[in-house]
Amino acid sequence: MRNSAEVVVVGGGIIGCSVASELAASGVDVLLLESRELAHGASGRNHGLVFYPQNLVTDPLYRLSHGIYRDLTASSDLDIGLDDEPVGFIIMVKSEDQWAAAEREARACEAGGVRIERLDGDQLRAAEPQVAGDMLGGWFIEDGYRLDPRALTLAMALSARSAGAEVRTHVDVKQILVRNGRAAGVVCDEGVVSAKTVVLAGGPWSPKLARTAGVNLEMSGARGWLMLVTPKGHVCDHLLESSGWHVQAGDPGPARVTAGSYGRGEDQAADIGLLIQPGAGGNLLLGGSRIPSLRQDPEGSQVARMIARKAVAAVPALAGAEVKEVWSGVRPMSRDGLPILGWAPQVEGLMIATGHGGQGVMLGAGSGRLVAEMVTGRDTFIDPSPFVVERGI
């Protein structure tokens, strides 16, 4: 393997691949190192939904990302499968106390220019006849574009390669080298790769590597479980979501797991909602969970069963749906729900690009552009200050 590059990007998820693609397109000599395969982490294991992020701060990242995905869908050899039109969300309301959270999410979407509509029980069942009879109603949100997240990540890596980047898989970066307060490269099994700039895009594993450079990243991992099922007949046309599931601006971040709470087993206290996603070939994706991820082996495997129970309660026809596959992925969660995109304060030349939580697809390509602009010292297309590494969280 080569022993130097202008910029080393660590991580072959959507963020690392997007950064590498943007840097290479700007003529930078880039080497991307991924410890497993491309899209091995959450980037290849998520819902693949692109929708308004319900936060005005990230609005420009979202709009640029969506535009880049459209262009990539048109130009890539891979089938990215981005919907031309939104499939539409319905937030289901089961009890009176759920109306407020459902309306809050709908109004946050409306603030971003998305059409919304309140549905009473009859309107809900007219739109989705299979929904359980005890649902009071809901909110329709005209949003939600599906794509294949693994194909998207690979397409970005291919773009990076065709623009001249070197993309290496099965290379685990063990350490970020720091000399005299400056990033000097990385160390992996093959040896040292010198670089003046290191971009850390290691998803939920970023803090581990950041520590080797003496940098503390305020973030944690949240595992989400997904289940692919084949129903016996037609189940739904829209994305069906439980009230209060999506994170919005100002929501509290993930609770910190302490030795005390860990000892009491509270790290397994799951944040479980429900998201039923109609997909290709009549299959459905069931998901909607966030549980603290602290270990290498997947914790909380019972969570997928809880999601299945919730799904059947919301849509009884799902009881007979055949379960084809169950898997999980770990989201890189910042403390305030905003991505972490900026220079590490203590180490010159170390750029951090992570913390996208449940929005890494929605914001990925825009984040890659912003990081590339900062690395190359160009004007940035948005104010990067909300995303700085040290922001008192």
- Alpha carbons 8 and 4: distance in angstroms, whole number: 9
> H-helix or E-strand containing 261?
helix 259-263
Give yes or no for residue 369 binding ligand FAD (CB under 6 A). Answer: no
Give 3's contacts (C-beta < 8 A, 6+ positions apart).
191, 192, 193, 194
Count of residues interacting with ligand FAD (CB under 6 A): 42
Report CA dihedral (216, 14, 351, 37) to the nearest 10 degrees: 80
User: Residues 66, 150, 356, 369: which binds ligand FAD (CB under 6 A)?
Assistant: 356
Give yes or no for residue 11 binding ligand FAD (CB under 6 A). Answer: yes
The answer to whether residues 194 and 184 touch, using CB atoms and an 8 Å cutoff, is yes
Smallest separation (angstroms) from ligand FAD to the CB of 96: 29
- How many CA atoms within 13 Å lie on the side-chain side of 360? 37
3-state helix, strand, coil in the chain (%, to 5): 35, 30, 40
Smallest separation (angstroms) from ligand FAD to the CB of 123: 26
Smallest separation (angstroms) from ligand FAD to the CB of 177: 13
**Looking at the DSSP assignment, which residues form a beta bridge with residue 173?**
188
Q: Between 11 and 86, whose beta carbon lies closer to ligand FAD?
A: 11
Smallest separation (angstroms) from ligand FAD to the CB of 175: 9
> H-helix or E-strand containing 367?
helix 360-376
Give yes or no for residue 160 binding ligand FAD (CB under 6 A). Answer: no
User: Residues 15, 228, 284, 374: which binds ligand FAD (CB under 6 A)?
Assistant: 15
User: Residues 23, 213, 362, 374: which binds ligand FAD (CB under 6 A)?
Assistant: 362
* Piece of 109-117, 240-248, 317-325, 358-366 that binds ligand FAD (CB under 6 A): 358-366
Binding marks (x or -) toward ligand FAD, 32..71, rule CB under 6 A? -xxxx---xxxx-xxxxx----------------------
**Looking at the DSSP assignment, which residues form a beta bridge with residue 200?**
10, 352
Buried b (16+ CB within 10 A) or exposed e, 21-41: bbbbbeebebbbbbbeebbbb
User: Residues 207, 231, 329, 368: which binds ligand FAD (CB under 6 A)?
Assistant: 329
How many CB atoms neighbour CB 163 within 10 A? 17
Q: Which residues bind ligand FAD (CB under 6 A)?
A: 10-16, 33-36, 40-43, 45-49, 172-173, 201-205, 209, 224, 226, 287, 329, 331-332, 354, 356-362
